[in-house]
Amino acid sequence: MGTESAGKASLHNLGCKVNAYEMDVMEQILRSKGYEIVPFGEKADVCIINTCTVTNIADRKSRQMLHRARSENPGAVIVAVGCYVQTGLEEALKDEGIDLCIGNNNKSRIAEILERYLDEREAGRTDKMPGGDTVSSMKDCPYERMELTELSSRTRAYIKIQDGCDQFCTYCIIPFARGRVRCREREDIVKEVAGLAGKGISEFVLTGINVSTYGADGLLGLLNDLDGVKGVRRIRLSSLEPRLFTEGFVRGLKAVENLCPHFHLSLQSGSDSVLKRMNRHYDTKEYAEKAELLRSVFDDPAITTDIIAGFPGETEEEFEETFSFARKTGFYEMHVFKYSRREGTVADRMSGQLTDREKSARSEKLISLGRLMSEEYVKRHEGLVREVLFEEVKELDGREYVVGHTPEYIHVAAEGGTELCGRIESVKLKGNAGEGFIKGELIKFT
């Protein structure tokens, strides 16, 4: 199939930042093969869904999006890629809404697999796994090499540095979907970032399934390398495990000039008994110590977290322990999830499953607390001058603003237009702009 007649492709991503990175690479590969990339929902010859399987709800959303693609584009090739296929291949192969299945360690081969499928379909064969195995076993699989060389965004890029997980938390299916821990070579990461920085990307988010497994020394070495790359203005770390934060590691982070003081420490529960049932490898005392260590080295860093509400067997007392611990810790943001059973996990077989009503009530209470703590954190920054990376123009309360983020990831709206997008400017933070944004006043230097 020649690049001149490759046709139109649309892509839709579900799930995590790792999926987002891999979707960017797949889009890049298809462009290089002559595909015209169109917005998802528009008429296309190929529709690709990068799926998620972290919960049963994620599975359902993946199926719904695949079926939506089929109904909107009945003549298109519908491609299911990633975690849902990896863990539910038998079901995916039976689904008449799916034409082609591609697993997690074959995303870099998407153009090759798609071309082979189209050739076989033209020859009258309709196997969803053309010419052999397109959904490889994740057992002992190597790190799948990918390199992002271009990006439609001109401000921020996700950079995958690691894949897989060995934690086996009782609620999580991801080790089965992503395999065991594999880490990317530092030289490959630095090369990728340097190439993107040379094309105007200024902020980089280092991501993975469990970034902590890159190791404290490995992360500090990588961060110092990236800190010296021309054009890199900001570096962020995605979710990290509390036990990684020793005093030496935190002081090493402080020495990285372009590192954003924004740390996502996964919590999941503020009750030690629930943490034990989850098979998390820390307790609340250790977690609190790590948060305090960060605050002793950084000036009011943004500490964010994830919490699961209504884990199997969670009593009212255990929930109140979580609520109290979160309030005492004082997060900038909390991402709250109602516990969702996932077939194939230990937690799915646990007794004491809560009703949806109970989980919803606890989730809402935590979400309200999260809003309050976020407002308190932003309020502390009012009147301060911060560097804001502007990203896009947005309408708020009937007025047009240019919006972006501080290093702490505070959402800022300032008067201005598209000429500011992609630029980092000094801004004085003022009052509430609505929709989660704080007003910013550009500081003009003469």
Domain ranges of the chain: 3-122, 156-381, 385-442
Query: DSSP string spanning 15-60?
Result: S-HHHHHHHHHHHHHHHHTTPEE--BTB--SEEEEEE--SSHHHHH
The ranges of the chain with pLDDT < 70 are 1-5, 444-446
Residues recorded for the chain = 446
Structural contact between residues 21 and 6, judged by C-beta atoms closer than 8 angstroms:
no
- Separation CA 357–CA 310 (nearest Å): 10
Q: How far apart are CA 237 and CA 208, in angstroms?
A: 10
Residue 431: the pLDDT is 85
Rounded-to-integer distance, Cα 348 and Cα 171, Å? 7
H helices within 174-271, ranges in order? 174-178, 186-197, 216-227, 247-254
pLDDT of residue 183: 97
Query: Residue 4: its pLDDT value, please?
Result: 59
- Candidate CATH numbers 3.10.350, 2.40.50, 3.40.50, 2.40.40; the one for domain 385-442: 2.40.50
Tokens of 50: 């990068």
Residue entry with tokens 């799926």: 51
Q: C-alpha distances in angstroms, 85 versus 215, 347, 397? A: 30, 22, 42
Structure tokens at 369: 């607390």
How confident is the model at residue 1, as a pLDDT?
Answer: 41
DSSP 102-133: E-GGGGGGHHHHHHHHHHHHHTT---SSTTS-
The pTM of the full predicted model, rounded to 2 decimals, is 0.94
Can you read off the two tokens belonging to residue 345?
């996990």
Tokens of 137: 């076993």
Cα 217 from Cα 252, distance rounded (Å): 9
The domain 156-381 is classified under which CATH number: 3.40.50.720, 3.20.20.70, 3.40.50.2300, 3.80.30.20? 3.80.30.20
Q: Please give the CATH number for the structural domain made up of 3-122.
A: 3.40.50.12160
